[in-house]
Amino acid sequence: SQAALLATEKLAVAGRLAATLAHEIHNPLDAVGNLLYLMKDGATPEESTQFLQLASQELDRVTQISRAMLGMYRESKTPVIVDVKEMLESVLLLLNRQMSQLQLEVRTEFASNASVTGYPVELRQVFINLLSNAADASTQGGIIAVRTKLRSAVRSGKTGGRQAGVEITISDNGVGISDAALPQVFQPFFTTKGEHGTGLGLWVSHGIIEKHSGTIEIESSTDEQNHGTRITVFLPRLDS
């Protein structure tokens, strides 16, 4: 049956993820083990200071990865009504420091009464991920636009149409995503940010939106004239 197939697919994904995760966490932990060994083995005070610093960097990496992962699993059991405008405004407030450091201009256009039924901690995580990606991609004085629109139901006999819900778009005029990178951005651990990225943000976000029966799409351009990224999230109302 379809449900069984889906479950099998999910197990396969979970298995692959566990293997990758073990690998990602193993490397920094091995490094910490080696550094501690070197310190026990009689390092000079200068060396010890350096080793400690390196070990703490490696542990930060482990913390970063586990935080990003947990975003997906911590949450209440029943969905509640979420005011999308309120949520976006609070996330923008949270990211205010990074955004004002870059002197970014944030343009908002919120539909009133845009609410969905869902898991607020998780949805918040999605918007934190998407907006901090937009800020990361931006250069000094860049523009980030956040818009919400109400969508009414579209009835269609064959496909079942589309449910009523809220469409959220987050656009930036940052560096954009290359054609080579674009197909990979939703994969776990794909990052172009080196040590600063976990590559889990979009993967986790995709999982959360899927859990809400929504969709997430990404368009991007690195053209010199017109570079930037637009993410469109659709969340159905799920209330009836």
- Quickly list H helices, the chain: 2-40, 45-70, 84-94, 96-101, 120-137, 201-211
Among 20, 34, 66, 192, binds ligand ADP (CB under 6 A): 192
Query: What is the rounded distance in angstroms from the CA atom of residue 216 to the CA atom of residue 196?
Result: 24
Closest listed residue to residue 115, CA positions, set 165, 70, 65: 165
**181 touching ligand ADP, by CB under 6 A:** yes
**134 touching ligand ADP, by CB under 6 A:** yes
The CB-of-231 to ligand ADP minimum distance in angstroms stands at 7
Residues 43-72 that bind ligand ADP (CB under 6 A): none
Q: Cβ closer to ligand ADP: 137 or 146?
A: 137
Query: What is the rounded distance in angstroms from the CA atom of residue 28 to the CA atom of residue 137?
Result: 27
Please list, in sequence order, all residues whose beta carbon lies within 8 angstroms of the beta carbon of residue 67, skipping any fewer than 6 positions away: none
Q: Cβ closer to ligand ADP: 35 or 137?
A: 137
**203 touching ligand ADP, by CB under 6 A:** yes
H or E element: which one contains 231?
Answer: strand 228-236
The CB-of-6 to ligand ADP minimum distance in angstroms stands at 23
Q: Segment near ligand ADP (CB under 6 A), from 37-45, 47-55, 153-161, 170-178?
A: 170-178
Closest listed residue to residue 106, CA positions, set 92, 126, 90: 92
Residues 204-233 that bind ligand ADP (CB under 6 A): 229
Among 28, 142, 174, 236, binds ligand ADP (CB under 6 A): 174
**201 touching ligand ADP, by CB under 6 A:** yes
- DSSP letters, 26-76, are HHHHHHHHHHHHHHHTT--HHHHHHHHHHHHHHHHHHHHHHHHHHTTT---
The CB-of-197 to ligand ADP minimum distance in angstroms stands at 3
Q: Cβ closer to ligand ADP: 103 or 178?
A: 178
Q: Segment near ligand ADP (CB under 6 A), from 6-14, 47-55, 150-158, 190-198?
A: 190-198
Tokens representing 213? Answer: 């029966």
The CB-of-26 to ligand ADP minimum distance in angstroms stands at 19
Helix, strand or coil, per DSSP, at residue 81: strand
Residue nearest to ligand ADP (CB): 201
Tokens representing 224? Answer: 């010199």
Q: Where are the beta strands (DSSP E) in 123-226?
A: 143-151, 165-172, 215-221
Binding site residues, ligand ADP, CB under 6 A: 129, 133-134, 137, 172, 174-177, 181, 185, 190-193, 197-203, 229
